[in-house]
């Protein structure tokens, strides 16, 4: 069945302009909110719709500008023979070159035969579907898809109302998984109480193949419908037609009474079985109603793990679970640009793929701060919590994700940062300065628009804290470290000072003079980060220290350190505009 080779959208809702070349299999759109992901799915649905009445309003025009028409064009390849027949669509058959994305007006020997269908809506709000061909236009020929072809190409939408597909209604998946049809008229003239059971026996013979497929699919996906699916008259039907017959479980309970997740999962499985008849599937917010383990089943039922894609699927998601289940060539980032939306494939490079597995949540944000280690993540989270208590917007509300790079080599943060930067994300690196990165690596990142906040000359985070906070705040940090680690901090301090300084001496000094000499501050910074057993080297430890000690002290502490923190949160706020 047909595959969409090219999507062109202009002036539709929040999309000024978009040109995209989707993959033949899974196409999962991710990115920040309001980037246009759902609009892309709606555009595909409307352009290939088999509905006779589609309502548009002024709000469907970009910027409410009704003087500029809505235009949605889909280039369809992998056409069935009737769609390629000269007598049906000869003047409208065109050529597509996958290597360049160019659509030629006439197919060539080395190009794929395609059809381009366009939906245009002008200020009168009346939609018009036509096939595009320059040579046909020159001859004054206009044509749209025949209704039977539109019905065959119409995508299946798996959404909150997926139970539409659990009855033998026009356009439902059940009408596509087999050629069998049922005539309900005989059963409906019988007495109402006997009609369901009598018709059920008759329908099970007429719909045996479809019921077996449904039963097998439910068993494969773990959807509990009992030993077998049955076709009975629907209790709620008020008109007698195809929709009068719907799926029930072995006890006669309608399957549309299943939960949302089970319904979507079962419909996805049936759609996989009907791939030969209808190969395009749409699902907005794929995780809706599904637990993590069933998200994996849902994607698997749509062919996510198969080498030869059985379906062309268009999805959107905000689920980290879905990102981990999919590969980089199935994920596409939707971003706004000055000239409209753009869709970028994430790709399958080693750095990209490992970044997806480790930090899927970050791909769902608009801006990313790559932190050198867990301490930096904890610091920003703690400061953020304090700022929210003071009435400021949180980092999450500003669309910022924090990722822990895990320390190690000083160039490592830039490996992760470059992966996000290449996909159009705003990226900042927050790093220590005790081990400096390769200058060329950092410079290349900055030249591409990246931001860097580094602690001051030669310092790690612990050096900055004990070197910048007021003596009273430093004493609170020591007390908190003592609560966490006990005698260990005393040993660290004696080791670093060559047994010349003790915790008690420092605390007494602060109590008596309210001062903390520079050399003692330096020793505390070194002791707090000695080896890998640092005093605050976990996200939760540093988060608590930052929220209760560091943040309240920022107004009083060294202004150079405060300026670094202000720079980070100012950058985060700039990305929300």
CATH code, domain with 148: 3.40.50.300
d(CA 570, CA 59): 34
pLDDT at position 183: 62
d(CA 444, CA 421): 11
d(CA 309, CA 24): 7
Query: Does a structural domain hold residue 353?
Result: no
d(CA 419, CA 354): 10
pLDDT at position 232: 75
Q: How far is CA 61 from CA 53, 97, 126, 363, in A?
A: 18, 31, 13, 29
pLDDT at position 239: 46
Query: Same domain for 416 and 388?
Result: yes
Q: Are 311 and 23 in contact (CB under 8 A)?
A: no
Query: Does a structural domain hold residue 300?
Result: yes
The CB-side HSE value for 436 (13 A sphere, CA atoms) comes to 8
Query: Does a structural domain hold residue 351?
Result: no
Q: How far is CA 450 from CA 132, 404, 413, 536, 548, in A?
A: 43, 17, 12, 28, 31
Separation of first and last alpha carbons in the chain: 43
Query: Does a structural domain hold residue 415?
Result: yes
Collapsed DSSP state (helix, strand, coil) of residue 179: coil
pLDDT at position 199: 65
Query: Same domain for 137 and 247?
Result: no
- Structural domain including 20 reads 1-155+278-346
d(CA 355, CA 563): 30
Query: Same domain for 255 and 332?
Result: no
Strand partners, 8: 19, 73
Query: Same domain for 431 and 510?
Result: yes
Query: Same domain for 408 and 292?
Result: no
Query: Same domain for 384 and 529?
Result: yes
pLDDT at position 52: 78
Query: Does a structural domain hold residue 356?
Result: no
Beta strand segments in 420-540, E: 426-431, 451-454
Strand partners, 77: 3
Picking from 273, 306, 337, the residue at the C-terminal end of a domain is: 273
d(CA 470, CA 132): 72
Query: Same domain for 523 and 477?
Result: yes
Query: Same domain for 255 and 286?
Result: no
- Reading phi first (left if > 0) and then psi (alpha if -120 to 50, else beta), residue 496 is in alpha
Residues in the chain: 577
What does DSSP say about strands 451-454 and 331-337: parallel, antiparallel, or unpaired?
unpaired
Query: Does a structural domain hold residue 28?
Result: yes
pLDDT at position 162: 58
pLDDT at position 238: 41
Q: Are 454 and 433 in contact (CB under 8 A)?
A: yes
Query: Same domain for 169 and 136?
Result: no
Collapsed DSSP state (helix, strand, coil) of residue 151: helix
Query: Does a structural domain hold residue 357?
Result: no
State the virtual CA torsion across 81, 84, 88, 93 in degrees, nearest 10.
170
Collapsed DSSP state (helix, strand, coil) of residue 274: coil
Query: Same domain for 476 and 420?
Result: yes
* Token pair belonging to 329: 């060539």
Query: Same domain for 404 and 477?
Result: yes
Strand partners, 336: 341
What does DSSP say about strands 70-77 and 3-12: parallel, antiparallel, or unpaired?
antiparallel
Query: Does a structural domain hold residue 352?
Result: no
Picking from 258, 273, 288, the residue at the C-terminal end of a domain is: 273
Per-residue pLDDT of the chain in tens (577 residues, 90 and over written 9): 799 999 999 999 999 999 999 999 999 999 887 889 999 999 999 999 888 789 999 999 999 999 999 999 999 999 999 999 989 999 999 999 999 999 999 999 899 999 999 999 999 999 999 999 999 999 999 999 999 999 889 898 887 555 667 777 766 777 777 767 666 555 544 544 565 566 666 777 788 888 888 898 888 888 889 988 888 766 555 444 445 678 888 888 888 778 878 887 887 787 777 666 668 999 999 998 889 999 999 999 899 999 888 899 999 999 999 999 999 999 999 988 878 889 999 988 878 888 888 899 999 999 999 999 999 999 999 999 999 999 999 999 999 999 998 888 899 999 999 999 999 899 999 999 998 999 999 999 999 999 999 999 899 999 999 999 999 999 999 999 999 999 899 999 999 999 989 999 999 999 999 999 999 999 999 999 986 678 999 999 999 999 999 999 999 999 999 999 999 999 999 987 6
Query: Same domain for 98 and 1?
Result: yes
pLDDT at position 165: 73
pLDDT at position 221: 84
Q: How far is CA 506 from CA 468, 471, 530, 554, in A?
A: 16, 10, 18, 22
The tally of domains found in the chain comes to: 3
* DSSP string for 59-112: GGBGGG-TTS-EEEEEEEES--HHHH-HHHHGGG-EEEETTTTEEESS--TTSE
Picking from 311, 346, 381, the residue at the C-terminal end of a domain is: 346
């Amino acid at each position: 069945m047909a595959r969409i080779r090219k999507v062109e959208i202009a002036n539709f809702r929040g999309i000024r302009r978009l040109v995209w070349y989707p993959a033949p299999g899974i196409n999962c759109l991710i990115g920040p909110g309001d980037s246009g992901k759902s609009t892309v799915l709606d555009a595909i649905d409307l352009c290939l719709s088999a509905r006779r009445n589609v309502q548009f309003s002024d709000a469907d025009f970009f910027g409410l500008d009704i003087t500029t028409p809505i235009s949605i064009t889909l280039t369809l390849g992998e056409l069935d023979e009737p769609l390629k027949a000269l007598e049906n669509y000869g003047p409208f058959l065109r050529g597509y070159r996958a290597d360049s994305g160019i659509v030629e007006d006439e197919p060539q020997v080395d190009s794929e035969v395609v059809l381009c269908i366009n939906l245009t809506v002008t200020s009168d709000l009346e939609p018009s579907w036509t096939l595009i061909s320059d040579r046909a236009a020159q001859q004054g020929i206009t044509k749209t898809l025949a209704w039977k072809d539109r019905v065959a190409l119409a995508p299946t939408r798996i959404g909150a109302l997926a139970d539409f597909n659990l009855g033998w209604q026009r356009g439902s998946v059940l009408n596509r998984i087999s050629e069998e049809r049922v005539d309900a008229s005989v059963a409906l003239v019988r007495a109402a109480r006997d009609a369901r059971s009598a018709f059920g026996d008759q329908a099970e013979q007429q719909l045996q193949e479809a019921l077996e497929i449904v039963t097998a699919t439910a068993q494969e996906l773990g959807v509990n419908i009992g030993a077998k699916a049955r076709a009975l008259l629907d209790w709620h039907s008020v008109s007698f037609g195809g929709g009068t017959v719907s799926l029930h479980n072995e006890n006669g309970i309608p399957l549309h009474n299943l939960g949302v997740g089970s319904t979507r999962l079962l419909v996805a499985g049936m759609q996989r079985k009907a791939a030969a008849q209808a190969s395009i599937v749409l699902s907005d917010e794929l995780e809706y109603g599904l637990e993590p383990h069933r998200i994996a089943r849902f994607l698997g039922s749509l062919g996510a793990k198969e080498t030869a894609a059985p379906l062309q699927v268009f999805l959107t998601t905000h689920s980290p679970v879905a990102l981990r289940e999919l590969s980089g060539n199935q994920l596409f980032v939707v971003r706004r640009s000055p000239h409209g939306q753009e869709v970028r494939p994430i790709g399958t490079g080693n750095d990209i793929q490992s970044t997806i597995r480790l930090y899927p949540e970050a791909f769902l944000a608009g801006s990313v701060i790559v932190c050198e280690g867990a301490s930096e993540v904890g610091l920003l989270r703690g400061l953020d919590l304090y700022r929210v208590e003071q009435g400021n917007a949180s980092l999450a509300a500003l669309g910022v994700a924090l990722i822990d790079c895990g320390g190690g080599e000083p160039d490592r943060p830039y490996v992760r940062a470059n992966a996000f930067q290449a996909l159009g994300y705003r990226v900042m690196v927050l790093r220590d300065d005790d081990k400096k990165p390769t200058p060329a690596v950092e410079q290349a990142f900055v030249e591409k628009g990246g931001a860097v906040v580094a602690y001051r000359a030669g310092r790690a985070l612990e050096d900055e804290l004990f070197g910048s906070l007021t003596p009273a705040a430093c004493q609170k940090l020591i007390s908190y470290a003592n609560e966490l680690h006990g005698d260990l901090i005393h040993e660290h301090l004696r080791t670093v000072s060559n047994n010349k300084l003790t915790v008690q001496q420092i605390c007494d000094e602060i109590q008596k003079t309210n001062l903390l000499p520079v050399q003692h501050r330096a020793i505390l910074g070194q002791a707090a980060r000695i080896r890998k057993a640092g005093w605050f080297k976990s996200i939760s430890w540093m988060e608590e220290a930052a929220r209760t000690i560091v943040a309240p002290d920022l107004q009083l502490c060294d202004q150079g350190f405060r300026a670094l923190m202000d720079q980070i949160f100012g950058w985060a706020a700039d990305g929300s505009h």
